[in-house]
Structure 1
Amino acid sequence: MSEIEEAINRVKGRVKGLLITGPDGNSVRSTMTKAEDSKLTGYINQLVDKARSVVRDVNPANDMTLLRFTLKRHEILVTPGRNFRIIVLQEINKSEEGAKPT
């Protein structure tokens, strides 16, 4: 088994979904259904492109390395690479919902 497969198997048990997309935005590897893949990648790709352009507008020498945002029930982490994007979808624990940020 390759290092990539081992890493995916380690992460798979801890998150709700893991998705790796190619430079064209199409899914390369995923732990989610095709319907979830296409819906998530469509929105995420648009959001990442806009966020990356904002970062470059602020300082052209910078580039975005991680995008993390929290929804009511999920947290989404995106690492945009040059040749691929890794999207991780994780559920928020019920115990963390009531916790106030420090």
Structure 2
Amino acid sequence: MVSDRQARGSHEEPGPPSEQAARLLQRLAAEYEAARRGLAQASCDYSRRALVEAHLQVVTACQAELSQLLGEEQALTLIRLCLAQVDQHLAAEEGEAAAGPGDRLAT
């Protein structure tokens, strides 16, 4: 299980809510992208699945902290936008126009 301190990164100092939210969204995007890349690779052995799960646990921790900081509705709106941007970035890298998992959240 990933602790809140690990999710935030041990080097981060508390700042204004907008700066904290920006850092959390940036971390969430990086972890989500790493999880997506892990899932996209051909090998799906136990260690890869564990790594993807660890990334997604950090995403969940960031989501919870953003919800506390901004309120659930605003946090979910920002997270949907963030995940859609990551999905678009990955699709462009792959040369695909296929929708990614984050696109399903933007309903």
TM bucket normalised to smaller? 0.3 to 0.5
The alignment's TM-score, normalised by the length of structure 1, stands at 0.35
* Higher helix content, 1 or 2: 2
